[in-house]
Amino acid sequence: MQKEWPLLLLGWYDENKRQLPWREQTDAYRTWVSEVMLQQTRVEAVKDYYRRFLERFPAIENLAAATEEEVLQQWQGLGYYSRARNLWQGAKETVAQYGGEVPKDEKSLRALPGVGEYTAGAILSIAYQQAVPAVDGNVLRVFSRLYGLQEEVQTTAAKKMVAKLVSDVLPAKRPGDFNQALMDFGAAICIPETPRCEGCPVTAYCLARLQGQERILPVRKPKKPPTCIHVAVGLAKGADGYLLEKRPARGLLAGMWQFVSAEAASENEAAKLLSERGLQLLQPAFPLWRVSHVFSHRRWEMAIYECAPVKDLPKSGGLAVREEALATVLWAGPHQKIFEWLEKNKKDEK
């Protein structure tokens, strides 16, 4: 089994591999950027961001020389902004310590900010053709089915087991292609819940298929629903424009800008807290708009209120921004939706 199916998978990849912008020109920096962007983000959503990011920062030296705000502006809309900050810090360390050459050994590579086992494996195998596994969710699913693994797939023990299985079959001559073949195969054929076994090139080697467990494996713990948090958002204008505030330097959406907000367990409580922060909600205090935004472990239910004009900026680090300049603001993700809603309403009114 170990000798035959990897070659069949590579043959499938040669005929069916996805045409992706980060495969057009392969080097360690481009691979690094693409893999960081692809964490918890769909491939289709990443393509345009990747192209724009590389246009702005074509080499690692360009990224290292940029400011944090410039990097986050290019990242805006992709979410999970700690990824961008880590990438930027990693680029600066690479330029300072390695003369701009991304390390070729796993220990040095994983010492860089935000570079975990998977990202290191992807860079080393794709850019440097080293036989190092790159185990992501697709690979865990594929190997769980191929080998009929009954362990809960997200445990550390299961991940180590799959990494060992991948290492055992990684072809020395095409490790990068093999890792990418597993990614494409998991995205196109060995998909969650209803795998497309009729188009699978290695179905004869799949223990899950042979045992009728292809829709059961991999074993996963049920996901906990995200915690619901109610957020009251105040649209308040001062003499110089809309009042904005900066989020704390640490935590969710760190250091990014938002309309003045308050978080609570209920919508009424959040609205009350917003009033206590010095914003006077126009009466009747009924939301102009509601919008949901789901993070990995929490869900914001946002209620947007129109507020009376105010004189003082919020104590959390405020800024007054004229309407024509709102498009340049480095928005905390969900507040970008509110800005876009405001822009749409303004156009509809004309």
Active site residues per annotation: 35
Q: Which DSSP string corresponds to 162-187?
A: HHHHHHHH--SS-HHHHHHHHHHHHH
72, 253 in Cβ contact below 8 A?
no
> Rounded to an integer, what distance in angstroms lies between the CA atom of residue 278 and that of residue 317?
14
Chain centre distance of CA 213: 31
Residue pair 245/257 in contact by the 8 Å Cβ criterion: yes
Q: How far apart are CA 159 and CA 195, in angstroms?
A: 21
DSSP string, 22-42: GGTS--HHHHHHHHHHHTTS-
CB 101 within 8 A of CB 94: yes
By the 10 Å C-beta count (0-12 exposed, 13-18 middle, 19+ buried), 304 is classed as buried
End-to-end CA distance of the chain: 67
Tell which residue, 281, 286, 239, 282, has the closest CA to residue 261.
281
Compute the chain's Rg from CA coordinates. 24
Pairing of strands 227-235, 237-238: unpaired
Are β-strands 257-264 and 318-321 bridged in parallel, bridged antiparallel, or unpaired?
Answer: unpaired
Q: Do the strands 298-306 and 227-235 form a parallel or antiparallel pair, or are they unpaired?
A: parallel
Distance CA 184, CA 200 (A): 12
Distance CA 282, CA 261 (A): 15
